[in-house]
Amino acid sequence: MRRTSYAFSPELYERELRAIVSEVRASPRLDAAGYQEILRRYPKDGSGFFSKSEVIRGYRHLRRDAAWTEDDERFLERLRMKPVRTQSGVAPVTVLTKPFPCPGKCIFCPSDVRMPKSYLSDEPGAQRAAEHQFDPYAQTASRLRSFFNTGHRIDKIELIILGGTWSFYAEEYQRWFVLRCFEAMNDFVAEEGEPVRAAVPVDYRDLDEVVAGDSLQRTYNAVIRDFAREREAPSESATWDDLERAHRVNETADARCVGLVLETRPDHISLSEVLRLRRLGATKVQIGYQSLSDEVLAANRRGHDVAATRRAMTLLRSMGFKIHAHWMPNLYGSSAELDAADYRRLWSDSDFRPDELKIYPCSLIETAELMAYYNDGRWQPYGHEELTDLLVDCISETPPYCRLTRVIRDIPGTDIVVGNKVTNLRQVAENALAERGLRSQEIRAREVRARSVAAGALRLDVVRYEASEGEELFLQFVGDDDELAGFLRLRLPGSSSAPCDELDGQALLREVHVYGAVVGLGKAHRGRAQHQGLGRQLVEAAAAEAAAAGYAGLAVISAIGTRDYYRSLGFADGALYQHLDLGAWSEAEDRN
């Protein structure tokens, strides 16, 4: 049974929509004022304006019986809302797990009992999760619908599962949560509403108890346990067979998962854990370093030391995962000078060197235990200039193989007692960097995004660096101004034994990413970085590097939705990875 979530019916407005579409197409340069003038000429119901999502839905309705062409894509580009969301090459779908007890006791972490630990109910993503009562199916379906109705393609989905410590949730819940996300992607039908949920989960918005950071009456964990115990929750379990069936369907679904991201702590990473993450379909792990100082970690009651982070990084990287680290300046017991040295350690020490990084300057939230430290003067936030100078140094130190995804956390200013409230702090820091005559070399600053790119104008560069007892090769296609059109991460393991038999004698292909706005699977658009064969060329270059280094095979930590792509390149399915026989590949190359 399905329900329709949107009352708008484009067939009732065909005359107006056809006229709007015609004028938009005829406008050589369409700016906001010109678009508004077109809407005024063709009002909705005689007086109102059609929203962009209604015009987009109307356009799809008018083109429902026609073959989709590049002209159709160009039309959607002109109207697409928030185009930056898919200019990295995939459509990110972020969902949150339910509130659940946390193993950590970090003094800086907020304790909003309506949210999974460390999240706040006022954050945009958290609000969406609460609206859907943390139901994984409903959250995923809603984000797919939102992307589709605002003109974005949903062929390639990066599924990002956040909330607390993933590894602390029961395995049954983990399987069920991932399964329901995949079922939402598999079920998505463009012109229909979202399927009805099978059951209504516990609504944590009913919680009105507040955990005060400066005078703890009850802990976050105690509140959550008692609340869940008093309510009968629907079944939240699934078998591995259930999940694997959903995985197989998604390999050829219209909305394919091309990356699955999970979030955990360094002290919860073990061989059994990473094998479970891989079986779930994960390809990337978000992991909180917070600091590389044992003294600072201990002062903030983080619950693990730097050695735990080293072990986690080695294990994750040796299993091929992409690593998205979190790092927090301005923690209790640190200083701007110590933080600058700590950041340099991220890159000078080969045990760290993450692929992606979020910088989260510590801000004081009322429900964090740090509140007591602020009230008695033990902790103070950095001033604006001091923090900006630190971030300028951090950005300039970030190497070209890392993507600096965030420079501040998206916390509403109303939730911050003291700390940074400047929402465009990254832009402020980057402007200050430019004033010093410096330029950021990190990935995000160099992405071509939606700009046109000619494959013939690109060159292949290779950045080599040591990391976690092995060598990493960052292969990148760049233009004359060092703009980045695509890259690949290749790991050549060291002499230590492989963590599992399947990876014995294998080089590891950890990531392939080609930039440009999301293009439909199997479609090619002139000038786009995607679908110019750059991905294939990167894989061939990686295979040549691995073969020259003496490896018998190349294993790829493929996402569920990219399995078909790698099969087309000659990779064969294994238990948890796909594999290319480099001996056979080299012989074929010699014949060609």
Residue 140, Cα to own-chain centre: how many angstroms? 14
Helical spans, DSSP H, in 108-152: 124-131, 136-149
Angle, CA of 492, 495 and 496, to the nearest 5°: 105
Cβ-based neighbours of 249, under 8 Å, separated by 6 or more: 182, 186
Q: Which two tokens stand for residue 145?
A: 């619908």
Distance between CA atoms of residues 574 and 243, nearest Å: 17
Residue 84 pLDDT: 55
Distance between CA atoms of residues 468 and 494, nearest Å: 9
Question: Are 582 and 543 within 8 A, CB to CB?
Answer: yes
Q: Which two tokens stand for residue 333?
A: 């017991």
pTM for the full model? Answer: 0.89
Distance between CA atoms of residues 518 and 528, nearest Å: 9
CB atoms < 10 A from the CB of 84, how many?
A: 10
Residue 524 pLDDT: 45
Cβ-defined contacts of 43-51 (< 8 Å, 24+): 43/16, 44/13, 44/16, 50/13, 50/16, 50/17, 50/20
> Could you give the angle at which helices 52-62 and 136-149 cross, rounded to 10 degrees?
80
How long a stretch of residues is the chain? 592
Residue 516 pLDDT: 64
Distance between CA atoms of residues 376 and 572, nearest Å: 61
Place of tokens 């919860």: 268
Residue 88 DSSP class: T
Which among 442, 496, 171, 541 has a CA at the least distance from the CA of 317? 496
Distance between CA atoms of residues 96 and 162, nearest Å: 5
Residue 190 pLDDT: 63
3-class SS of residue 435? helix
Cβ-based neighbours of 163, under 8 Å, separated by 6 or more: 96, 97, 98, 100, 115, 116, 117, 119, 129, 134, 263
CA dihedral 568, 572, 576, 582 (to 10 degrees): -100
Question: Are 2 and 145 within 8 A, CB to CB?
Answer: no
Instruction: Work out whether the CA dihedral 149, 152, 158, 164 comes out positive or negative.
Output: negative
Which among 372, 133, 104, 97 has a CA at the least distance from the CA of 221? 104
pLDDT tens, position by position, for the chain (592 residues)?
333 344 678 888 989 888 888 888 888 778 888 888 888 888 888 888 888 888 888 888 888 888 878 787 778 877 765 555 555 668 999 999 999 999 989 999 998 899 999 899 888 888 889 999 999 999 999 999 888 888 888 899 999 999 989 999 999 999 999 999 999 999 987 655 455 454 556 788 878 777 776 665 678 888 888 887 777 666 788 999 999 999 999 999 999 999 999 999 999 999 999 999 999 999 999 999 999 999 999 999 999 999 999 999 999 999 999 999 999 999 999 999 999 999 999 999 999 999 999 999 999 999 999 999 999 999 999 999 999 999 999 999 999 999 999 999 888 888 999 999 999 999 999 999 999 999 999 999 999 876 767 777 899 999 999 999 999 999 999 998 899 999 999 999 988 788 999 999 999 999 999 986 434 444 444 444 444 589 999 999 999 999 999 999 999 999 999 999 999 999 999 999 999 999 999 888 887 7
Distance between CA atoms of residues 381 and 330, nearest Å: 7
Q: Which two tokens stand for residue 219?
A: 């802990």
Question: Are 553 and 508 within 8 A, CB to CB?
Answer: no
Greatest C-alpha distance within the chain: 75
Residue 362 pLDDT: 96
DSSP-assigned letters across all residues of 257-303: EEEEEEEE-GGG--HHHHHHHHHHT--EEEEEEE-S-HHHHHHTT-S
The H or E element that residue 384 is part of is: helix 384-397
Strands 578-581 and 553-556: antiparallel
Phi then psi dihedrals of residue 459, to 5 deg? -125, 155
Rg (CA), the chain: 25
3-class SS of residue 377? coil
Residue 76 pLDDT: 80
Which among 267, 351, 349 has a CA at the least distance from the CA of 310? 351
Residue 403, Cα to own-chain centre: how many angstroms? 12
Residue 20 pLDDT: 87
Q: Which two tokens stand for residue 537?
A: 């060329």
Q: Which two tokens stand for residue 112?
A: 């909003």
The residues that bridge with 573 in the sheet, in sequence order, are 578
Strands 403-406 and 416-418: unpaired
Distance between CA atoms of residues 68 and 53, nearest Å: 18
Question: Are 503 and 514 within 8 A, CB to CB?
Answer: no
Residue 86 pLDDT: 54
Which among 251, 131, 134 has a CA at the least distance from the CA of 182? 251
Phi then psi dihedrals of residue 59, to 5 deg? -60, -45
